[in-house]
Structure formats: structure tokens, C-alpha cells
């Protein structure tokens, strides 16, 4: 795909799922990225909720743990993304865009700004004023972090993405220094809202903002279970 092609509205396969094991989500990303780089696949976006897990970015250390590792209430796994330690789990939308950034003419920093704009636009649709803070990646509302952003780019193709707290139990963050920022709190859409907001409404706001930011059309993909089975077979075939 050339930059000129990327300017035309692209079709992006969108997957929505809940209760996804982090390892399965990682395998899905790697498979989607590999097939996109090979020219056999298309750009994709997964909007999922993970089973509870703590993840540590490639350069993260254990200094961001507030308790001993064996006292964490969920597994801690290493992730090949930027950023420090964070939590993923129910009530949090995790977005994994697998995009051809090279064809889109986007550098990593520009892409991160685009993801932040997606979250800010989605929050605006829900009546909240999100913002970015210099030196602190992610999206913030009234001094508290509502969404984390951490990506990996290999051969021009993106992996990982963002995590937006919707109605997550924020006590999961008590055992860590979220994203390594000790002097700031985390918040959620539910905490900010006077009335309950369904997670599916937030998903739709994120989808609409993603469409507008990246000038794409989201199309239905195979359901997550079918994709996960395909990923398992792909991994087994290549690495046993």
C-alpha cells in the first residue's frame, strides 16, 4: 500500500470480545501484524476486555510494584510495548489497532497522538473533557488518568494500543504505580459520569472516533473465538 492508497478510505476488520486471556490477545496481534506485513491480511482493530492481568512494558522494572510480586491479585506478564506497569481487566476497553503506519505516513509519535485524539473524541461524545499532559502519555481528566497508551511498531506495522477505564474496579491499581507515575490518580468513565454508562455505548463512541481519526470503515470480522482458534493453529504449526 502506498501513501496515496492510504489516503483513500480503508476497510479495517473490527473484533469485539470480553474475557480474553492476555496471551491469546498477544497472539492475535502478532498474527494480524504478520499477515498484514506479508500482504496477505488487512488492517485490524480489536476492542476487548481482558481477564485481569498486570502487564509490564519492555523497559519496565519491578520498582512500580507497591506489593511483592507474589502478592499481586492477578498475574504479571511482560509485554513487548512501550510504557511501564499497568492493569487490564473487566470494565476496561483495550484497543489493539494493527495498522500499516508506513503506508499512512505516520511515525510512532504521531500515531500515539492519534490514539490520544481518538480517546479524547470518544470522551467528548460522552460529555467529558479529556486532555493530554506534557511528558505524561495517555489521556487525563481533571488531573487523573482515564486511558493509558503504549505501542510497539515493527516494520511499519503497529501493535498494542490503548486502555480506557470505563467501569473498571479501580482498586486493581492499588498494588502498582500505574504507568510509573506516582503522583497522579486513575479514574474511569463511570467515576466521571453522573449516570451509568454502558460499556457498549463507550465502545461505539471509540469506534466512531477511530473511524474519524484514521479515515477508515470498520467491517465485521470473524468472531473472537474463531480468530483465537486460527491463532492457536498458526502458533502450533510454526512453533509447536
Number of domains in the chain: 1
When pLDDT is averaged across residues 114-136 and rounded to a whole number, the result is 95
- Residues 86-115 pLDDT 10s: 899 999 999 999 999 999 999 999 999 999
Q: What is the DSSP string of 90-101?
A: TTEEEEEEE-BH
Give the residue numbers marked as catalytic.
179
The number of CA neighbours under 13 Å toward the Cβ of 111 is 25
42 phi and psi angles, rounded to 5 deg: -115, 165
Nearest-angstrom CA–CA distance, 75 and 228: 21
What is the distance, to the nearest Å, from the Cα of residue 205 to the centroid of all Cα atoms in its chain? 15
Residue 58: domain span: 3-239
Q: Is the pTM of this model over 0.75?
A: yes
Q: What is the pLDDT of residue 192?
A: 96
- Residues 179-191 pLDDT 10s: 666 667 899 999 9
- Residues 24-50 pLDDT 10s: 999 999 999 999 999 888 899 999 999
CB atoms within 10 A of CB 187: 19
The CATH number assigned to the domain holding 158 equals 3.30.930.10
Q: Are 82 and 59 in contact (CB under 8 A)?
A: yes
Amino acid at each position: 500500500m502506498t501513501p496515496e492508497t492510504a489516503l483513500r478510505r480503508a476497510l479495517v476488520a473490527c473484533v469485539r470480545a470480553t474475557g480474553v486471556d492476555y496471551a491469546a490477545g498477544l497472539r492475535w496481534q502478532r498474527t494480524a501484524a504478520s499477515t498484514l506485513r506479508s500482504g496477505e491480511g488487512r488492517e485490524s482493530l480489536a476492542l476487548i476486555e481482558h481477564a485481569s492481568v498486570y502487564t509490564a512494558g519492555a523497559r519496565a522494572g519491578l520498582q512500580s510494584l507497591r506489593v511483592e510480586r507474589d502478592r499481586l491479585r492477578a498475574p504479571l506478564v511482560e509485554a513487548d510495548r512501550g510504557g511501564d506497569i499497568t492493569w487490564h481487566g473487566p470494565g476496561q476497553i483495550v484497543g489493539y489497532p494493527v495498522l500499516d503506519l508506513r503506508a499512512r505516513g505516520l511515525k510512532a509519535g504521531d500515531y500515539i497522538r492519534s490514539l490520544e485524539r481518538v480517546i479524547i473524541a470518544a470522551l467528548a461524545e460522552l460529555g467529558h473533557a479529556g486532555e493530554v499532559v506534557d511528558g505524561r502519555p495517555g489521556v487525563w481528566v481533571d488531573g487523573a488518568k482515564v486511558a493509558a497508551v503504549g505501542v510497539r511498531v515493527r516494520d511499519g506495522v503497529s501493535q498494542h494500543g490503548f486502555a480506557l477505564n470505563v467501569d473498571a474496579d479501580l482498586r486493581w491499581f492499588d498494588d502498582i504505580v500505574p504507568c510509573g507515575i506516582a503522583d497522579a490518580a486513575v479514574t474511569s468513565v463511570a467515576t466521571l459520569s453522573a449516570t451509568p454508562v454502558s460499556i457498549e455505548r463507550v465502545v461505539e463512541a471509540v469506534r466512531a472516533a477511530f473511524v474519524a481519526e484514521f479515515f477508515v470503515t470498520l467491517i465485521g470480522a470473524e468472531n473472537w473465538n474463531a480468530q483465537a482458534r486460527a491463532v492457536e493453529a498458526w502458533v502450533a504449526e510454526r512453533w509447536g
